[in-house]
Amino acid sequence: MTKFLKYFSIFILLTVLQYLFIEFFDIRGIHPDLFFILLIYIAFRLPPVHAVWAGFSVGVVQDILFNLVLIGLAPFIKTFFAYILGRIAARQRMINPILLITGMIVMILFNHQLFNWFYYVQVPGTDYSVFLGKTLPETAYTTVIFLMFNYFFPLLDSER
């Protein structure tokens, strides 16, 4: 219960930060996905089924606050990745730490690419430019913040 409350409080704080102060995070239209970083930590700290429900909830809030035009997309993507992250977290002791962190970065990339693919599917001829101009910068930005968080709050179990 304490862990749940702790992550719920962090979630509220992140929501307030992103919603009210989004412009301060903005670098020429590129924003990090702080909710995905939270989801990674939840998947590694709570049981997988809790991570799945957390992913859905985070996605719903993200859609309500930031993505009113495509309601349903963020919960779908976040639930999917929460499930994948939960499965990886269950096997974290069997995986090399560096490989695991790299895997998280790859998950961040796929999260951004999946969202952008759904969003820009109707725009003609933009797959390559969206990948270079949106997905990669957003992935880099989110990865930098994730690695900073990982430095101060290590993702992996210290008793490996």
Partner 1 sequence: MIKKLYDFVYDKQTQLSALILMLVSFVIFLQNEHPAVHQLQGIIAETLSPIKQPVVIFNEMQNARAKNTILSERIIQLSVEAARFNTLQEENDRFKELIKFQNSSRLNLLPALVISKGISQEVNAITINIGEDQGVAINSPVINIDGIVGKIFSVNKTTALAQIVTGPQFRISVKIKPDEATGILQWLGGNQFLIPDIPNTMNISKNNLVVTSGFSDMYPPDIPVGIVTDIEQATDGFTIRVMGDLLVNFNKINELFVLQLDNP
Q: Which residues pair with 27 in a beta bridge?
A: 30
CB distance 133 to 116 below 8 Å? no
Q: Are 73 and 115 in contact (CB under 8 A)?
A: yes
In the bound state with partner 1, the residue whose beta carbon lies nearer, of 35 and 146, is 35
- Of residues 2, 23, 98, 159, which one binds partner 1 by CB under 8 A? 23
42-101: contacts with partner 1 (CB under 8 A):
48-49, 52-53, 55-56, 59, 62, 64-73, 75-76, 79-80, 82-83, 86
Query: Where does this chain touch partner 1 (CB under 8 A) — which range of 1-9, 95-103, 114-122, 148-156?
Result: 114-122
Select 63 or 100, whichever has its Cβ closest to partner 1: 63
Residue among 49 and 144 whose Cβ is closer to partner 1:
49
How far is the C-alpha of 88 from the C-alpha of 103, rounded, in Å? 9
Q: How far apart are CA 15 and CA 43, in angstroms?
A: 18
Q: Tell me how far, at minimum, the Cβ of 31 lies from partner 1, in Å.
A: 6
Assess contact for 44 and 92: CB atoms under 8 A.
yes
Choose between 120 and 149: whose C-beta lies nearer to partner 1: 120
- Inter-axis angle of helices 48-66 and 34-45, nearest 10: 170
CB-wise, 47 or 154, nearer to partner 1?
47
Give the list of residues 6+ apart from residue 24 with CB closer than 8 angstroms, or none: none
How many positions of this chain bind partner 1 (CB under 8 A)?
A: 47
Q: Which of 94, 125, 152, 153 binds partner 1 (CB under 8 A)?
A: 125
The tokens describing 71, both together, are 């309601």
Q: Distance between CA atoms of 148 and 152, rounded to whole angstroms?
A: 7
Which residues of this protein are in contact with partner 1, per CB under 8 A?
Answer: 18-23, 26, 28-29, 31, 48-49, 52-53, 55-56, 59, 62, 64-73, 75-76, 79-80, 82-83, 86, 119-126, 129-130, 133-134
